Amino acid sequence: MSERFIELKAQQLVYYVSQFLRGRLAHSELHLFIWDTLEEWSQFQLLAGTPNSLRERAFWHLLHQLEYWPAHSLQQNYQLRANIQHCLSFLCGQGRCPLDCIGVRP
């Protein structure tokens, strides 16, 4: 069940983040998507802990980064943007999981 949730939300996350990075989506809309996702996740009766897959780990890591950094950093910090793009590529099934992805389930 959690794998299906991550699969669906990862596709949506890639879309939202890509639109935000292109300047086509307001940061507030990205923020609302993230909090809606967390609210949906809270409906699952799962034990907290380490994610089951690298994909899930990258997903939670990216959500954390998007909420941690302010909008101007997400848009203007080239190293941060490169890290985000690496996570997005992995979530799309391209490349390898970034080494620094330390995402855990909320």
How do the domains of the chain map onto residue ranges?
2-91
pLDDT tens digits, 70-81: 999 999 999 999
pTM: 0.90
Tens of pLDDT along 12-33?
999 999 999 999 999 999 999 9
pLDDT for the residue 51:
64
Instruction: List all residues 6 or more positions away from 93 whose beta carbon is below 8 Å from its beta carbon.
Output: none
DSSP state of 86: H
Secondary structure (H, E, C), the chain: CHHHHHHHHHHHHHHHHHHHHCCCCCHHHHHHHHHHHHHHHCCCCCCCCCCCCHHHHHHHHHHHHHHHCCHHHHHHCHHHHHHHHHHHHHHCCCCCCCCCCCCCCC
Between 9 and 45, the higher pLDDT residue = 9
The reported pLDDT for the residue numbered 48 is 61
